Chains A and B, each alone.
Chain A
């Protein structure tokens, strides 16, 4: 069962020069999060991936639709059930500097989730802190220091220890390594892979770095301006992307190869704005294959022969289109 998103939408009202406007940060997103695996949400800024994370973490309320956990919608849960949900779903965010309260010691940071749910005596807590620090590769002496005494990578380890404190089933990883230095990134990625294996965790990974996603995720969901444009097994998406946006995204990724030149699609100047999304298919102004129908009609997400989903008129018109 686990987590599911059903027709999940989140609209924000923002003030602009021309009165109030609606930002459709997430628009009718349907998603099942398979247990024990990593599923990745990818897309560029403004695609709604962080909004979805916030909805799942109950930091925002959906405008319509629901996040369900074990079949039950979060908005219908009792206090007690919400507490249980909080124990199951934890998170690690991008910025290791903002995610730790500078005025608390590492011990208090790590024990905070535990104390929010259970009564524990000091000895038990200290033993747990030492255990968690060991899991993330920090010495026990780290417990009595403050966050600023650590480097970015070490802070991210502390954040991971906090996320593990309640023995959750699911961890939301919102750009967990993008603020870290290259040489530190691999350490943290390896750590994340190790603990996933060790504790059988489910990861919902939010990332813009496609190479990272290919490396970690079993399933990939590509978002564009709040909607899912393609979704499927990681291998399918990376070896044969079907949606033109996924193709463009993959073409643009640089590689550490002097003979490889990432492709820049011309007339591709803006990532588009969720504030004023184009009519029809939201991607059509940037799409190299745009057809007349694309400007008027929004393609629905259809299931292709290989089991993946994509939303593109090219595919619904000619389901067998291969490129």
Chain B
């Protein structure tokens, strides 16, 4: 992929100023996503993975004073320089869409699914009449492979199962043919057999429309089959990124290694798991050096300084002194 990336994020910062202090939710994150490519952002709660994506959409928490810095280039526009109106009319929906973890709260229980799926078309003035809106909604539902969409349009969200609801949400997200889809834990709330289906749906949508996808997750196993590249986040920063095979076959950062070791996988029976001791750091009071150092089994004296990015080839970059020294 030599073409210019679809999304280029450079040194993105989102510091949330609260009365009690400054939460460095996103602290200098850089990555890119190409057309038709899936980037998995993996991290625990508080690692800044969701905040990074909300920052791309410039959706900041209501509480506190969130300050964005850096640059987010999408199709030549720097999203951080646009006005709020431009973001609403030109970016959110037509260019970047998002689906979130809980398909129940993403849908309004008092409107029919047809009303909601046709919402993006109406808002962005892509349809003029009710009839057009409904046929657009039908097509939308068909795209996410909901059976007998004409009939389902008149149903309310509670009449859908969890997996179907997530399909509806996906239909709304891709309604305006966005270039980039942000999927925040899209399958966490779903049963495992349904999870696979949503994943394969995302894959087929991507195949059809050259969509760039950012997939946020806490679970390394869910993203393995779907992503092209992975970025592992810890305490507001990306600590390792690379092609999916490099990350799984040859993880360099002790945190990435620990994440892969710490969860039981099918086929390995009753052995003690390699637990990561301690807790993730407080985002208001971060260690000066490597942020994983206090929990790291391979900690060295030099870890009191933040490790530089080390390029291991083929886009595999790790921020760890162990790699830097070799």
Contact = CB atoms under 8 A, between A and B. Distances in A.
B219 A182 contact: yes
Interface string B244-266: 11001100000000111111111
Given A256-B248, A260-B225, A262-B199, A269 B273 contact: no
B218 A186 contact: no
| Of B163, B266, B279, most A-chain CB atoms within 10 Å | B266
**Range class of the B interface residue count:** 35 or more
Nearest to B203: A261
A186 B193 contact: no
A286 to B, nearest CB: 8
Given A186-B275, A256-B220, A262-B196, A215 B270 contact: yes
Given A185-B263, A210-B266, A254 B224 contact: yes
Given A187-B277, A249-B192, A256 B260 contact: yes
B272 interface: yes
A269 B147 contact: yes
B266 A238 contact: yes
B265 A255 contact: yes
B268 interface: yes
A70 interface: no
Nearest to B223: A254
A185 B225 contact: no
A208 B272 contact: no
B262 A186 contact: yes
B193 A252 contact: yes
Interface in A55-99: none
B263 A186 contact: yes
Contacts of B262: 182-183, 185-186
B264 A189 contact: yes
Contacts of A210: 192, 266
Contacts of A269: 147, 161, 163-164, 194, 197
Contacts, number: 150
B230 to A, nearest CB: 9
Interface in A28-48: 44-45
Contacts of B279: 151, 153-154, 184
A208 B192 contact: yes
Contacts of A182: 44, 218-220, 259, 262-263
A34 B245 CA distance: 42
Interface string A207-236: 011111011100000000000000000110
Interface string A178-207: 000111111101100100000000000000
B313 to A, nearest CB: 18
A216 B273 CA distance: 11
Contacts of A304: none
Contact of B225 (A181, A262, A271): A262
Nearest to B147: A269
A257 interface: yes
A181 B280 contact: yes
B119 interface: no
A43 to B, nearest CB: 9
28 contacts: A45-B162, A182-B259, A182-B262, A183-B258, A183-B295, A184-B44, A186-B274, A193-B272, A208-B192, A209-B264, A214-B268, A215-B264, A216-B264, A235-B269, A238-B267, A252-B196, A254-B199, A254-B225, A255-B267, A256-B224, A258-B224, A258-B244, A258-B248, A258-B249, A262-B196, A263-B196, A269-B197, A270-B161
Interface of B: 44-45, 147, 161-164, 191-197, 199-200, 218-222, 224-225, 227, 244-245, 248-249, 258-270, 272-277, 279-280, 295
